[in-house]
Amino acid sequence: MAETLIGSEIIKLAGEIKERIAQGEQIYNLTIGDFDPAIFPIPETFTQAIETAYQQHETNYPAANGMMPLRKQVSAFLQRKGNLSYSPEEIIISSGARPLIYALYMCLLDPGDKVIYPIPSWNNNHYTHLGRGERQEIEATAENNFMPLAEDIAPHIQDASLIAVCSPLNPTGTIFSKEQLSAICELILAENKRRGPNKKPVYLLYDQIYWQLVYGENEHYNPVDLYPEMRAYSVCIDGMSKAFCATGVRVGWAFGPRYLIDKMVSICSHIGAWAPKAEQMAAAAYLAQEDKVDQYLIETKEKLSQRLNAFYAGLQKLKAKGFALDAIAPQAALYLTVKFDLQGHATADGKLLKNNHQVHRYILDEAKVALVPFGAFGTDDSPWYRLSVGTTAMEDIPQIISRLEAALAKLQLAVKKV
């Protein structure tokens, strides 16, 4: 398993970009789904609560399933924000979302079990490999905002153990419509009814780590809120990392059926995947301050949506000028989905861009703008890219758009000469 395990393509790309920047190149790095703390600091009251927790010597082992004060506050947060009623015993705290996703895969998969997930999506291929499962990839399309459809899942569900989806979606920043998610829920419920009580059910992993970052008229939906019967088959992944710009603080949680949560607790305990006790106690103290939580979310969403909308508007202006690109209007998270349809174009020195890997390198080398190609999320030779705004200053966006325009203009001129 380890010999054939592939490392993170995104981290590899980000490492290359950081090395080039360290060597003096001025590159706008829009790759990692992270935040610049100088632009997006965690809440000040959260920082103060962390400091207080350390001063109060909250530094020994936390409870295996998470500190009770935090599980109580997560329970209240889910009820208040999402109309979801989960007791503290149905919630597990961990060091971010990753150990929780890993633990769920370990709970549900026997070797060879089938996992259905869409591409593009984040890391499901790697978790399936770690769990020694069988991958069933569903290629989602731009026409459906890259969200998987029930009709695409249906042919493969009869022998599946897990369906893994994410909304808002990493890498696209798009969301399920109510109709899309409802159809998937109905499919799962019908399949489990067909299997009956004596067969292993098919479960839904629902990653909603970005659910507090939804913009405009768009609305987030949860499967259990839509269909209470889904409670028996759904485990939801969530946490502090994205909504509170706290990627390095490492406080995540999952909620679902008690019998699965208990097994996930055992797995996370054996690998020591607890969030630090001080951070847990601080998160509990912070989440209890509802007014401050709500104000921080309003401000963070505004800052992120400003950046996403500015990029989208700039790219649409380039499209209107005739350049071969496109983008999906922002919906959620910190990502914009961008398309560079440049295969077959030639560079100024006459080199033909034969595939999207070469297109990606051209944008990086010529425009000095670093994006993540959808190839890092499982798609083959896709012209689509993830643009992340969490480290971008507003004043940099016009310069980034200008650099892209200059690089694309060179391609147009080269094509005309050819």
Q: Read off the pLDDT of residues 345-377 as tens digits, 9 standing for 90 and up.
A: 988 888 889 888 899 999 999 999 999 999 999
Q: Do 313 and 215 share a structural domain?
A: no
Element (H, E) at 392: none
Tell me the average pLDDT across 385-395. 96
**What is the residue whose two structure tokens read 């947060």?**
77
Structure tokens, 325: 């690109």
**Residue spans of alpha helices (H) in 131-177:** 150-153
Q: What is the DSSP letter of 350?
A: S
CATH number at residue 249: 3.40.640.10
**Are 170 and 139 part of one and the same domain?**
yes
What is the CA angle 219-221-223, rounded to 5?
Answer: 175
Question: Whole-model pTM?
Answer: 0.94
Contacts of 159 (CB under 8 A, 6+ apart): 114
Do the domain assignments include residue 279? yes
Let me know whether 142 and 248 are in one domain. Answer: yes
Q: Are 404 and 370 in contact (CB under 8 A)?
A: no
In-domain check, residue 327: yes
Domain contains 22:
yes
> Which residues are within 8 A (CB) of 215 and not within 5 positions of it... i.e. 6 or more apart?
301, 304, 305, 308, 330, 331, 332
Average pLDDT over residues 42-52: 98
Cα-Cα-Cα-Cα dihedral sign, residues 360, 364, 367, 373? positive
Domain boundary among 269, 289, 309: 289
Verify that 157 and 21 share a domain, yes or no.
no
Does the residue 4 lie in any domain?
no
What average pLDDT is seen over the chain? Answer: 95
Average pLDDT over residues 31-41: 95
Write out pLDDT tens, residues 157-199: 999 999 999 999 999 999 999 999 999 999 999 999 999 999 9
pLDDT at 14: 82
For residues 15 and 90, state if they share a domain.
no
Output the pLDDT for position 316: 97
What would the mean pLDDT of 111-136 be, rounded to a whole number?
96
Q: Residue 387 pairs with which residues in a beta bridge? A: 336
Q: At residue 269, does pLDDT exceed 60? A: yes
Q: Tens of pLDDT along 314-337?
A: 999 999 999 999 999 999 999 999
Say what the pLDDT of residue 412 is. Answer: 59
Average pLDDT (391-418) is 83
Tokens read off for 143 = 């026409």
Residue 152 belongs to what domain range?
44-289
Say what percent of the chain tops pLDDT 70. Answer: 98
* Residue finishing a domain among 274, 289, 304: 289
